[in-house]
Structure 1
Protein backbone atom coordinates (compact mmCIF):
# COMPACT_ATOMS: atom_id res chain seq x y z
CA UNK A 1 0.00 0.00 0.00
CA UNK A 2 1.46 3.32 -1.05
CA UNK A 3 1.53 6.47 1.00
CA UNK A 4 -1.18 8.03 -1.18
CA UNK A 5 -3.52 5.07 -0.58
CA UNK A 6 -2.92 5.25 3.20
CA UNK A 7 -3.79 8.96 3.23
CA UNK A 8 -6.87 8.32 1.13
CA UNK A 9 -7.92 5.52 3.51
CA UNK A 10 -7.47 7.79 6.54
CA UNK A 11 -9.47 10.55 4.92
CA UNK A 12 -12.29 8.12 4.06
CA UNK A 13 -12.43 6.91 7.68
CA UNK A 14 -12.62 10.48 8.95
CA UNK A 15 -15.37 11.44 6.49
CA UNK A 16 -17.43 8.30 7.09
CA UNK A 17 -17.29 8.72 10.86
CA UNK A 18 -19.93 10.43 12.95
CA UNK A 19 -20.12 14.18 12.58
CA UNK A 20 -19.09 16.07 15.71
CA UNK A 21 -21.66 18.11 17.58
CA UNK A 22 -21.54 21.82 16.84
CA UNK A 23 -21.74 24.14 19.85
CA UNK A 24 -25.01 26.14 19.85
CA UNK A 25 -23.27 29.48 20.43
CA UNK A 26 -21.26 28.98 17.25
CA UNK A 27 -24.27 29.93 15.10
CA UNK A 28 -24.86 33.13 17.06
CA UNK A 29 -21.19 34.12 16.74
CA UNK A 30 -21.20 33.42 13.01
CA UNK A 31 -24.36 35.47 12.46
CA UNK A 32 -22.99 38.37 14.51
CA UNK A 33 -19.66 38.37 12.66
CA UNK A 34 -21.38 38.05 9.30
CA UNK A 35 -23.74 40.94 9.95
CA UNK A 36 -20.84 43.07 11.19
CA UNK A 37 -18.86 42.28 8.04
CA UNK A 38 -21.89 43.12 5.91
CA UNK A 39 -22.33 46.48 7.66
CA UNK A 40 -18.64 47.30 7.18
CA UNK A 41 -18.77 46.36 3.52
CA UNK A 42 -21.90 48.45 2.99
CA UNK A 43 -20.35 51.44 4.78
CA UNK A 44 -17.15 51.14 2.73
CA UNK A 45 -19.15 50.94 -0.49
CA UNK A 46 -21.18 54.03 0.44
CA UNK A 47 -18.03 55.95 1.39
CA UNK A 48 -16.40 55.01 -1.91
CA UNK A 49 -19.36 56.16 -4.00
CA UNK A 50 -19.71 59.35 -1.96
CA UNK A 51 -16.02 60.19 -2.44
CA UNK A 52 -16.28 59.40 -6.14
CA UNK A 53 -19.30 61.69 -6.49
CA UNK A 54 -17.58 64.50 -4.57
CA UNK A 55 -14.46 64.13 -6.72
CA UNK A 56 -16.56 64.33 -9.89
CA UNK A 57 -18.34 67.46 -8.65
CA UNK A 58 -15.04 69.08 -7.66
CA UNK A 59 -13.57 68.26 -11.07
CA UNK A 60 -16.57 69.73 -12.91
CA UNK A 61 -16.46 72.91 -10.84
CA UNK A 62 -12.70 73.26 -11.36
CA UNK A 63 -13.02 72.64 -15.09
CA UNK A 64 -15.81 75.19 -15.45
CA UNK A 65 -13.79 77.84 -13.59
CA UNK A 66 -10.30 77.14 -14.92
CA UNK A 67 -11.34 76.13 -18.46
CA UNK A 68 -8.14 74.16 -19.15
CA UNK A 69 -9.13 73.52 -22.78
CA UNK A 70 -8.87 77.24 -23.66
CA UNK A 71 -5.48 78.54 -24.74
CA UNK A 72 -4.21 81.09 -22.19
CA UNK A 73 -3.83 84.67 -23.43
CA UNK A 74 -0.36 85.86 -24.20
CA UNK A 75 0.94 88.15 -21.49
CA UNK A 76 4.15 89.16 -23.20
CA UNK A 77 4.68 91.06 -26.42
CA UNK A 78 7.72 90.98 -28.62
CA UNK A 79 10.27 93.65 -27.78
CA UNK A 80 10.03 96.89 -29.72
CA UNK A 81 13.20 97.96 -31.39
CA UNK A 82 13.95 101.24 -33.13
CA UNK A 83 13.72 101.29 -36.86
Structure 2
Protein backbone atom coordinates (compact mmCIF):
# COMPACT_ATOMS: atom_id res chain seq x y z
CA UNK A 1 0.00 0.00 0.00
CA UNK A 2 1.54 3.29 -1.02
CA UNK A 3 1.38 6.60 0.81
CA UNK A 4 -1.61 8.20 -1.00
CA UNK A 5 -3.70 5.08 -0.43
CA UNK A 6 -2.86 5.08 3.27
CA UNK A 7 -3.67 8.78 3.56
CA UNK A 8 -6.99 8.24 1.81
CA UNK A 9 -7.82 5.35 4.14
CA UNK A 10 -6.98 7.41 7.22
CA UNK A 11 -9.07 10.34 5.97
CA UNK A 12 -11.98 7.99 5.33
CA UNK A 13 -11.70 6.58 8.86
CA UNK A 14 -11.53 10.06 10.38
CA UNK A 15 -14.56 11.31 8.45
CA UNK A 16 -16.80 8.48 9.65
CA UNK A 17 -19.06 9.16 12.59
CA UNK A 18 -17.69 7.74 15.84
CA UNK A 19 -19.55 4.90 17.50
CA UNK A 20 -22.02 5.99 20.15
CA UNK A 21 -20.67 6.24 23.69
CA UNK A 22 -22.71 4.66 26.49
CA UNK A 23 -24.40 7.38 28.58
CA UNK A 24 -23.21 6.00 31.93
CA UNK A 25 -19.55 5.80 30.85
CA UNK A 26 -18.68 9.18 32.39
CA UNK A 27 -20.22 8.28 35.76
CA UNK A 28 -18.37 4.97 35.83
CA UNK A 29 -15.08 6.65 34.95
CA UNK A 30 -15.50 9.25 37.70
CA UNK A 31 -16.44 6.58 40.26
CA UNK A 32 -13.48 4.36 39.37
CA UNK A 33 -11.10 7.32 39.29
CA UNK A 34 -12.19 8.42 42.75
CA UNK A 35 -11.77 4.93 44.08
CA UNK A 36 -8.28 4.69 42.59
CA UNK A 37 -7.30 8.01 44.15
CA UNK A 38 -8.58 6.91 47.58
CA UNK A 39 -6.70 3.63 47.36
CA UNK A 40 -3.51 5.36 46.25
CA UNK A 41 -3.80 7.88 49.11
CA UNK A 42 -4.41 5.10 51.64
CA UNK A 43 -1.44 3.11 50.34
CA UNK A 44 0.80 6.18 50.49
CA UNK A 45 -0.27 6.91 54.08
CA UNK A 46 0.30 3.27 55.06
CA UNK A 47 3.80 3.31 53.59
CA UNK A 48 4.65 6.54 55.44
CA UNK A 49 3.34 5.00 58.66
CA UNK A 50 5.46 1.88 58.12
CA UNK A 51 8.52 4.02 57.40
CA UNK A 52 7.93 6.02 60.58
CA UNK A 53 7.45 2.85 62.65
CA UNK A 54 10.64 1.34 61.23
CA UNK A 55 12.54 4.53 62.02
CA UNK A 56 11.29 4.54 65.61
CA UNK A 57 12.10 0.83 66.00
CA UNK A 58 15.62 1.38 64.67
CA UNK A 59 16.13 4.37 66.98
CA UNK A 60 14.98 2.40 70.04
CA UNK A 61 17.16 -0.57 69.08
CA UNK A 62 20.23 1.58 68.49
CA UNK A 63 19.80 3.35 71.84
CA UNK A 64 19.41 0.09 73.77
CA UNK A 65 21.92 -2.13 71.94
CA UNK A 66 24.49 0.63 71.33
CA UNK A 67 26.09 -1.13 68.32
CA UNK A 68 28.80 1.55 67.98
CA UNK A 69 30.38 0.63 71.35
CA UNK A 70 33.17 -1.94 71.11
CA UNK A 71 32.41 -5.00 73.25
CA UNK A 72 34.86 -5.78 76.06
CA UNK A 73 37.67 -8.14 75.18
CA UNK A 74 37.25 -11.64 76.55
CA UNK A 75 40.27 -13.32 74.96
CA UNK A 76 42.93 -12.30 77.49
CA UNK A 77 42.64 -12.57 81.25
CA UNK A 78 42.77 -9.41 83.31
CA UNK A 79 46.29 -8.44 84.47
CA UNK A 80 46.43 -8.38 88.27
CA UNK A 81 49.33 -8.41 90.68
CA UNK A 82 52.01 -6.58 88.69
- Specify the alignment match of 1:11 in structure 2: 10
Q: TM-score of the superposition, structure 1-length normalised? A: 0.79
RMSD: 2.2
Unaligned runs of 5+ in 1: none
The number of aligned residues is 79
Report how far residue 9 of structure 1 moved.
2.2
Report how far residue 71 of structure 1 moved.
0.4
- Specify the alignment match of 2:50 in structure 1: 51
Give the 3-state SS of the residue equivalent to 2:12 in structure 1: helix
- Specify the alignment match of 1:34 in structure 2: 33
Unaligned runs of 5+ in 2: none
Q: TM-score of the superposition, structure 2-length normalised? A: 0.79
Runs of 4+ in 1 over 3 A off after TM superposition: none
